[in-house]
A and B are shown apart, each in its own frame.
Chain A
Amino acid sequence: MNLDPLPEWMYALVAVIGIILAVAIVRRKLKALERFVALLATPERAHTLRALWDEVMRDGVATPAEVHLLVCALKEAAKSLSPKDQRLILGGFMQRSVLGRARYVAMIINRAGIAEGPLPVPVI
């Protein structure tokens, strides 16, 4: 069996292609997030989300059901995005962890300037 290595330039070329691909994957996601945040920052949407956030944070913590409420509101807002952006944004809401979803929701809401601070979910 021929187990000799390939020429070094080939490894370098593939590494460069890989790095470009990796940067493109991350950049596409960040751009979609940027567009979503800009969409949420419009006064009408921001007002609705702010009211919902205040309601959820009245007792200082959010139950999984309340996190779900915020997720639903954000999913509804994401419908105005292009299908490609929607796919990129909605992936974060599908994660199994409630704490992860709460962190994602808080990050989006904070970035849109709607509210500040985390969305604490009580853990046993």
Chain B
Amino acid sequence: MGAVTTRKAPWRFPRLSDPVQEFFLCILFHMLLPFVPLVAEIAVLGRVEKKTVLLFLAIYLVSLGVSSHSRLMFGATIVFGLMYSMFFGLAAAGGDLAAPVIGFGYLILTLGMLFQAAERYNRHVVEQDRFWEFTEETKQ
């Protein structure tokens, strides 16, 4: 009887697990895609108008908050979103404010994004939550 020969499995390119893929998908679509208009403005004008930044901050902060599971994050981003909507209105009307509005906006944006990234890691990688649920239909 001949010896049993085993064939070595072919090398496979390593693949990210589904939860990790969904986490990065979330970062890409939920957190980075909204920056596209700013990038487009830089591409066309070579700079971003300050009014655009104020409008972006108003909308982006709210969009981060409404998808968060944290009540504090939700409440805080709604308040900041309303504040920056008001600042945008003031800037559009040529109003004047002493506080460094955009500077604080960047700080809030940084904190909000980091907090959201951590929360999303917990949801998609640790809790294995799906990013796109609308494709799901299960058999009973």
Chain A interfacial positions (CB closer than 8 Å to B): 1-6, 10-11, 14-15, 17-19, 21-23, 25-26, 29-30, 33, 63-65, 91-92, 95-100, 103-104, 107, 121-124
User: Could you list some 23 contacts between A and B, CB below 8 A?
Assistant: A2-B96, A2-B101, A3-B50, A3-B100, A3-B102, A4-B103, A6-B103, A6-B106, A6-B107, A10-B107, A11-B107, A11-B110, A15-B110, A18-B114, A23-B118, A25-B115, A25-B119, A26-B118, A33-B126, A103-B19, A123-B136, A124-B138, A124-B139
> Are A98 and B138 neighbours in the complex by a CB distance under 8 Å?
yes
Range, interface on chain B? 35 or more
Interface of chain B, main secondary structure: helix
Residue of A nearest to B111 (CB): A18
The 5 closest A-B pairs by CB, nearest first: A6-B103, A92-B127, A18-B114, A22-B118, A103-B128
Residue ranges of B at the interface with A (Cβ–Cβ < 8 Å)? 18-19, 50, 69, 87, 90-91, 95-104, 106-107, 110-111, 113-115, 117-119, 121-123, 126-130, 133, 136-140
Are A123 and B139 CB-contacts (below 8 A) given A4-B103, A17-B111, A18-B110?
yes
